[in-house]
Amino acid sequence: MDWGWLILGVWTFLTVGSSSAAFVPPTPAECLRAIGATGDLPPVLRRAFQPDDDFQIVPAPGPHDWLAEHSQAGQSFRDFAKARPRRPDKSRNKIYLLPLGEFPEDRSPAIGKLAAYAAAYFGLEVQTLASVKLTEWELTTRTNRYTHKRQILAADVLRMLTGRLPADGFCLCAVTMEDLYPHPSWNFVFGQASPQNGVGVYSFARYDPAFYGGQRGGDYQKVLLRRSCRVLVHEVGHLFGLEHCVFFRCVMNGSNHLQESDSRPLHVCPVCLRKLHYSIGFDPAERYKALGDFYQRTGMQDEAQWVANRLKWITAGEAGETPGAARSASRSRMLWSRRTSRHSTWTASTDRASPTIGRQDIVQRLSDGSVAAAVALLVNAETREQK
């Protein structure tokens, strides 16, 4: 096995315990530093990358959550850019999906909808290849001792995918309803990828309640589609070089189990959005419009509303509305919650936020209820320091 392959989104019942230090949620100032200086960017991009009440700082993990068992320092935008990740270019700019095995209509997500979602999410053309039968490839299998269901060794799928990426493809992603495992000592894995080779494999098997012996509810297909969309864009994000996000609640957060995965939003945070924009160069407004259309068509009204709110915010300046006026017009659109606990977090962080602004300046703005003004001070200071 090539241990350079990233093992993603895994929950193992065999975890003995973690010796890593306890994860401490980042401060708002640390989140702003992760986004990086935006002062030289066009207004729409500045607003697209500015956090507000649409985003929440990642919380402390529960006992069995991803960050409780995996020590991750976090990848800032600057870290990402310095790593020089693979990027689409004029000759390689398509995402390919390859169905592996059977996709029974009654318990599988629609491949066409997954392709449409990926196209809207990444702003690239997505094509679906002809499905491959399991018997056509040499794949190691086993019976899981907990579920008593067949599993496929994910590394074998990656081996078969390597070298099969079409000439115009940026990445090739196998999707399957078969359960996966990455190593004999692991229980299962949601997905595994080889970013350097541009290939990955992702399983939707455990998103079916019947997998665990449960009943499929009336909204089963909608739940399955949402879960499948989430894991697909998360794993494709890794193929763009994005590591797990530890700054905001984000689709790029790691997940150790289904409940944790279900709690993740479908959107990327400002840090990860800036990474994707750096690699792809999409128009954020057009991207949100495409996503909004998808959410409306598939009945994901909560996501459609979130996108509509975000789109209204980032395009407000185009209509002649100044950032200050837009913020004053909607007092509910703030960086983070205005609860006392959030205010105290901001206050505690200002001592180390920046030497170029005064702590009292920010505290005063928070006391006045003007979180936007406090954010502006921090953003401007970060911009001056990083230039």
For residues 189 and 182, the answer to whether their CB atoms sit within 8 Å is yes
Token duo for residue 58: 């990642």
Contacts of residue 126, Cβ cutoff 8 Å, sequence gap at least 6: 94, 95, 96, 97, 115, 116, 118, 119
Q: Token match 């592996």: residue?
A: 100
Residues in contact with 358: Cβ distance below 8 Å, sequence separation at least 6, in sequence order = none
Are 208 and 107 in contact by the 8 Å Cβ rule? The answer is yes
Report the C-alpha gap between 225 and 235 in whole angstroms: 15
Is 203:26 a contact under the CB 8 Å cutoff? Answer: no
CA–CA dist 245, 80 (Å, integer): 12
Distance, CA of 339 to CA of 335 (rounded, Å): 12
Which residue, among 193, 101, 200, 214, has the nearest Cα to 147 in the 3D structure?
214
What Å distances lie between residue 176 and 77, 110, 204, 349, CA to CA? 32, 12, 6, 45
Q: What are phi and psi of 202, to 5 degrees?
A: -135, 135
The answer to whether residue 321 is catalytic is no
Residues 6+ apart with CB under 8 A from 23: 60, 61, 67, 68, 71, 246
Catalytic position from the list 30, 69, 178, 235? 235
Active site residues: 235
